[in-house]
Amino acid sequence: MSTLLFPLREKPPRPSAPPDIRKVRIGLLGAGGVGQAFLQLCRREREFFLRRGLDLQPVSALVRDTSRPRQGMPPPALLTADPLRFLKCSCDVVVEALGGVEPSRTLVAHCLKARIPVVTANKSLVAAHGAELSALAQAHGTRLRVEAAAVAGVPFIGNLEARPLAGRFSALQGVLNGTSNYLLTRLSEGQGLEPALSEAQELGVAEPDPSNDLSGRDSAEKLALLLQRLCSRQVDTAALEVQPLANLQPMDLQAARLLGGVVRPAACAWLSEPPSPCNHRAEAIQAFVGPCYVPNGHPLAQVHGLENGLLLLKDAPHGQTAANLFYQGPGAGCEVTAATLLDDLWESVQDASDSRPASQFPAPQGPPATLQAPRTPWFLRLKADPAELDDILAFLADHGLHGRGSHAAADTVWLLTSRASRARVEAVGQALAEAAQSDILPLRALEVPHGC
């Protein structure tokens, strides 16, 4: 065996050359809860981005009141309440967290025309003017990213955009509002709506003005946004059937549990023609938003508290099981939204350094989609003597509404029924009120989809 005269020595590792650091100047529109959380996250993750060659530098923030104390804000010299001063500041990317439609629309449009990419968490803006702003971004060769505006804690829009064949679907059913879901979860535990709302506000997961959550408007805007992004169709939020949470009581959720289900703040849409890479137009959409009975076997029944969930349903060839897609994750809180904004910013910066066009759906074209109210099963609450249950069921059957399950307590009866239109249910409720002096609370109900 030969002997080495000189022992082998490992070469010392070469010091890795630091990456070329690129300064990314950030303009921030709005510095409320989400804006402040975004700035704090930028500071916390500074080293992470420096290792990847990016130096994130907030250079200007447009706020309504510069004297208001805020956490994690840039120096006061970078704050301004003057939109013109903000627009004169040189930015590489703009993060929009103002909320509302105006002045957000005007400011975002100005930035896109100046070829400045924009990332936004503003669902109201995108639901109302997403088509216009998306077309504006494409016309000026820049990017508008909106993943933080809907179901921010469940990153899936970008995945579906990148895989249009795998992402084809015929219907979507979701819990899109974490605050509302939290309130209904607390109601199911016996707490009243007002105490649950106060608790959510103390935890920072409900706005001081919770009207958008309670009315269903927040979920309606998110549903419109998702249909716009995933189906390339404009949806008029005002034309959606939207029902509020206000009339629900803890006993309704307890009855739902005894009937084998839960109540969730649902946002659902069925497409008459599934979108595809060659056809992004769904000519008619059946949709509704509101509290809804969900059977325990449905994936949305497992979405609790502050969580969001989205089920994309697929039509399967005859004899095959549908390959449905289900996404679930955190659905409320400034930190969740801020993290998605920062991810969108990162992708926008990557786009800007790539000469290839970024993958994205085309801007919606044509008039808004025709919206129709679907025929669904129903979960009904009736003020009535339980001893009259058989007569009530017979009365409903005479009007084409057949019972599938019932629960009674004290002077109240709850029923699950067959599929029917809202118009028929309301007509039956009116007839029942006239016949028996009984009021009725109708909630839509879902069925367990094939493949689940």
Could you give the residue numbers annotated as active site?
222
Contact 63, 107 (CB under 8 A): no
Cis status of the peptide bond prior to 368, with omega within 30 of 0:
no
Q: What angle do CA 62, 68, 74 make, to 5 degrees?
A: 55
Q: Work out the burial of residue 271: count CB atoms within 10 Å of its CB; fewer than 13 is exposed, 13-18 middle, 19 or more buried.
A: buried
Q: Would you give the DSSP letter of residue 112? A: H
Give me the sheet containing 22-29, strands edge to edge.
79-80, 54-62, 22-29, 93-96, 118-120, 144-145
* Pairing status of strand 307-313 against strand 171-175: antiparallel
Residue 276 Cα distances to 54, 167, 230, 231, 283, angstroms? 37, 9, 10, 8, 13
State the SS3 of 378-442: EEEEEECCHHHHHHHHHHHHHCCCCEEEEEEECCEEEEEEEEECHHHHHHHHHHHHHHHCCCEEE
- What backbone phi and psi angles, to 5 degrees, belong to 394? -65, -40
| Cα dihedral: 178, 325, 416, 291 (round 10) | 20
Spatial distance between the Cα atoms of 6 and 90, rounded to a whole number of angstroms: 61
Residue 451 Cα distances to 142, 170, 275, 316, angstroms? 40, 14, 20, 9
Per DSSP, which regions of 272-360 are E strands? 284-295, 307-313, 325-330
Which tokens hold the place of 86?
């903000």
- Helix, strand or coil, per DSSP, at residue 175: strand
